[in-house]
Structure 1
Amino acid sequence: MLSILGVLSLGALAVIGLLQAGAIDMAADTPHSPAVYRLIEWAREQSIVRRAAAIVPPDDLSDAGRIRRGAGNYDAMCANCHLSPGIEDSEIRKGLYPLPPNLSKPANADDSDRTDARRFWIIKHGVKASGMPAWSKGGMEDEAIWDLTAFLKIMPDLSPEEYRRLVEASDGHAHGGLEEHGAEMESKSGAAHTHATKPHAHKHGV
């Protein structure tokens, strides 16, 4: 037993020594080894599955209003990293590691309530060390997150033209949480904020 503890202690000291020496390459353009990547991916999915298990999606995710509102926020907040129908890559996406999933393509898993809960949890809480922000921290309330979730369900079936029509019919980048967040910031700084804009025009050099 003591010998096992000794080996574990030496192993822990070796790892600490490597970290202290800066031996771990943290550059985003140097991928993890396949084994490390699989371990991180497995740990991430186990964490998300556990935390999303109690989330119950609303019954109206097919509502046209939800989908339309989600389209505007997706185009403004998500499309640069997660792409949109007809767009194959973006400047910022090329530099991110791990590479964000292309959400305009069909998912591998069945589009079930569990998938909806998973999407909601990720949008709300973000994912550490991945570049995926916690949008709740940015002022997005749950209803707007469910709107995004509703839009993500149907986006893989949209043509580029259908996608653009939905975005243009939306209120653009608009969600109620921004008003509260902006009011708080305005009271602190005295600056004027615009919280709802029409959809942004994105130029993709790909």
Structure 2
Amino acid sequence: MQMLTATIKGLLITAVIALVCGGLFLYSGTYPMGADVPHNRLTYWLLETLRERSVARAASDIDVPHNLNASERLLAGGADYNDMCAGCHLKQTTRIMTSPPVALVNNQTTEL
């Protein structure tokens, strides 16, 4: 019984230390989150997994329209896509899905 109590106490102390260290890292601002610095593999995997699972959960109850490939549907959404999406995503004149990130640290602006 005493060994079980010591084990639980050790696990709780370890968990508290991990939470404190994680909080310090989080609030330190030392991790480069800018779009001009690539993430390391672990961070990329965590963010990618979070995004994929979030989208899968949110989309799980969406019914796919039966006429999804109909040209009328494509034409109806084309103007919206051009107005709201084409600036960053594929347009006939672009070759990549998203625009390359701008190094915001090097750009100075006086306008907000």
| Match of residue 95 from structure 1 | 101
Q: Check if 1:75 corresponds to 2:95.
A: no
Q: Displacement, 1:78?
A: 1.2
Q: Check if 1:9 corresponds to 2:16.
A: yes
Q: Check if 1:53 corresponds to 2:70.
A: no
**What is the TM-score normalised by the length of structure 1?**
0.41
Q: Check if 1:21 corresponds to 2:28.
A: yes
Q: Distance in 2 between matches of 1:16 and 1:22?
A: 11
| Match of residue 65 from structure 1 | 72
- 1:118-169 per-residue CA deviation (whole Å, 9 max, x = no partner) reads xxxxxxxxxxxxxxxxxxxxxxxxxxxxxxxxxxxxxxxxxxxxxxxxxxxx
Unpaired runs of 5+ in structure 2?
1-7, 103-112
Which stretches of structure 1, 4 residues or longer, exceed 3 Å deviation after superposition? none
Equivalent residue letter for 1:60? N
Q: Displacement, 1:63?
A: 2.7
Q: Displacement, 1:86?
A: 4.9
Q: Distance in 1 between matches of 2:60 and 2:73?
A: 23
Q: Distance in 2 between matches of 1:70 and 1:39?
A: 33
Unpaired runs of 5+ in structure 1?
97-206
Equivalent residue letter for 1:95? P
